[in-house]
Amino acid sequence: MSKFTGFSSLAISYFLLVSTIVAATDVHYCDNNEEYEVKVQGVDITPYPIARGEPATFRISANTDTKISSGKLVIEVSYFGWHIHSETHDLCDETSCPVAIGDFLVAHSQVLPGYTPPGSYSLKMKMLDGRKKELTCIKFSFDIGFGSSVADM
């Protein structure tokens, strides 16, 4: 047995222990009959479940047949079916613009307040071009765990 075999096993075990959990979530289009110009392949959320008061990153992998020079992301969040939050972001702050034809990634990081209740949430995201034309609309669910709280801050 090589002296490096034990080291590599230990290193792999350590990496698996401390690596951040990433969850790929099921994504649904808002309108299954719509032919969106941007096709979403998936959403990865890190860490998962999301911890209150800690940074969370949403990575959306997508593909487009058209060049996108500008636009907006409109995000709506619901908790137990109740709309609780809306925000709008410049698309070019979340990905490199112009977006070329082909695959691209939209990434958004945010720290949820420590008072955010744990549980299951749903998110609806619309991507609009510079003329406010809807390029895609997706929905997915995510969980917020019992991680950090106001008392921890």
Does the domain made of 21-152 have the CATH classification 3.60.15.10?
no
Kindly give the parts of the chain with pLDDT less than 50: 1-21, 148-153
pTM of the model: 0.77
The Cβ-side half-sphere exposure at 107, using a 13 Å CA radius, reads 8
114 neighbors 150 (Cβ within 8 angstroms):
yes
Domain limits of the chain?
21-152
pLDDT per residue as tens digits for the range 1-17? 444 344 333 333 333 33
Question: By the 8 A CB rule, do 107 and 91 touch?
Answer: no
